[in-house]
Amino acid sequence: MQAATLRQAWEYRMIHWLSRFVPSPISVNWSERIRSCVGVSIGITVTALTMRSFTQSGVLVPFLVAPMGASAVLLFAVPASPIAQPWSFIGGNLISATIGVACSQSISDQVLAAAAAVPIALCAMFSLRCMHPPSGAVALTAVLGGPGIHSLGYGFVFAPVAVQSLIMLVCAIIYHALTGHRYPHASHKGTVINDVDRSRREISRVDLESAVRRRGELLDIGTDDLASLLEEAQMLAYARSFGELTCGDVMSRPAVCIPAKTSLNEARDILLRHRIKALPVTDGSKQVIGIVTWADVYGRVETVSLAEACNSCLGPWTVPSQETRVDSLMTARPETVEAKTLLMTVVPMFAKHGHHHIPVVDSQGRLVGMMTQADVISGLYHHSQAFA
C-alpha cells in the first residue's frame, strides 16, 4: 500500500514537472506575425546588401555576424521588450564585442577566453543597463570567429558589429514607423486611481488575455507571470495603505510553545486544549528551533493507533512509539519574522508562499508571539475600522 502511494506521488510530481515544458499560448494575431517576419527579412536583407558593398570595395569584413539574426527577431518581433530597445541593442553589442576582442587577444586558450568573455560582457551589460542576450554571442564570435575575425582586432567592434547594428536599428525604426508601431517603445502610462475609484474589481485571466491581445504585439512576459505580478502588486498596494502597522501589532500573544523533548501525545493535547493548529518548538533560551503543526501530529498519531491495532500482523518493529518526541517530526529552522517588521512585507508570505503560521521573535530571536492568516486579516480589519 505504501509503495503504491509513493509511486502515485512520484508520478504526479513527474507529470507536474513535465507540464512546465508545455509552451504558453502566443496571443498575437496572424497579421502581426506576418508583419514581424517581413520586418526581419527587410532588416537582414538591407544589412547584408550594405555589408556586401563593403566587401566589394576591398574592406575585408564578415558578410553578416550570426548574432544579428537573434537581434533582428527581438527588434522586429518583440519591439516592446526592454532588451530590444536601442541602447540595449547598440550598447550591448559594442560592449560585448570590445570585451570579446580583449579576451581573445589576452588569453591564448580559446576555451578560457570564451569562458571569460561572456560572463564579463554580461556583468558589463548589467552595470550599463544595456542587457541584450544576442550580445553574448557577439562576445563569443570575437573569440571563436577564426582568423578572419581575429585579424580585424578591435576593428571588429566598428565593422562589422557597430555598422551592422546601426543599419539594423535604422531599419527597425523606419519599418515600425511605417507599419504603425511605436519603436523605441514607450511605456504605457496607467490611469491614476484615486480614493474614489478604489472599488475592488476582480481581474480574471480572460481579462488579462484580452488586454494582451488588444496590444497587438508580442510581450516578453507570459499571462501567468503577468497575473502573478498583478496579484502581488495589488496585495502590496493594499498592505501599503496600512502604513506602519507591524507584525507585533497583529500577532497573538503569548505564544504557546513546547520544548523539543515534548512527546507526541503531549503536543496533541496542547493543540486541542488551546484550539490552535501549530506549535513553535523552542530551546532553553526561547529561540525558535522548529515548528510542529496539527497535520504533523494528527497524521503520526493516526499511524501509531493503526499500527497498534494491527500489531499482531505487522510485527512490533513497525509500531512507532506513542512517546515519540516532536523534534523527530517538526519542521526545523522555520521562517520567522521580527515583531518590528512591517506587516506589508509579510503579507506576500501568506498570499504567495503558502505560509499559514509564522513565529514572531524579538531582536534577539526569542519567541514573543505567533502570527496566522486570521491574525493578519483581523489586524487589517480593525486597523481599517480605526481609520474609517
Q: How confident is the model at residue 193 (pLDDT cuts 50, 70, 90)?
A: very low
Sequence-distant (6+) residues with CB within 8 A of 333 are: 289, 290
pLDDT for 187: 57
What would the mean pLDDT of 92-103 be, rounded to a whole number?
Answer: 97
pLDDT averaged over every residue in the chain: 81
Please give the pLDDT value at position 39. Answer: 95
> Could you tell me which residue, 58 or 289, shows the higher pLDDT?
289
- How many angstroms separate the CA atoms of 143 and 108, rounded? 10
Q: Whole-structure pTM over 0.75, yes or no? A: no
pLDDT of residue 242: 64
Q: Which stretches within 2-85 are classed as H helix?
A: 2-19, 30-56, 67-77
CB atoms within 10 A of CB 135: 33
- pLDDT of 91 strictly over 90: yes
CB-based burial, 337-347: b 16+ in 10 Å, e otherwise: bebebbbbebb
Amino acid at 128: L
Confidence of residue 199 (pLDDT cuts 50, 70, 90): very low
107-132 per-residue burial string, b: 16 or more CB within 10 A, e: under 16: beeeeebbebbbebbbebbeeeebbb
Contacts of range 147-156, beta carbons closer than 8 Å, 24 or more positions apart: 148/60, 148/62, 149/62, 150/104, 151/60, 152/60, 152/61, 153/101, 153/105, 154/98, 154/101, 156/97, 156/100, 156/101
The three three-digit cell numbers of residue 368, written as one number: 514573543
Could you tell me the domains of the chain? 30-178 (no CATH), 247-386 (3.10.580.10)
**Across 242-249, average pLDDT:** 78
Question: For 319-336, b where at least 16 C-beta lie within 10 A, e where not — what string?
Answer: bbeeebbbbebbeeebeb
pLDDT value at residue 354: 64
From 76-90, 111-125, 341-355, the region with the lowest mean pLDDT: 341-355
Whether residue 248 contacts residue 360, with contact meaning beta carbons closer than 8 Å, is answered with yes
Please state the rounded mean pLDDT for residues 178-189.
77
Range in 11-25, 66-80, 133-147, 247-261 the model is least confident about? 11-25
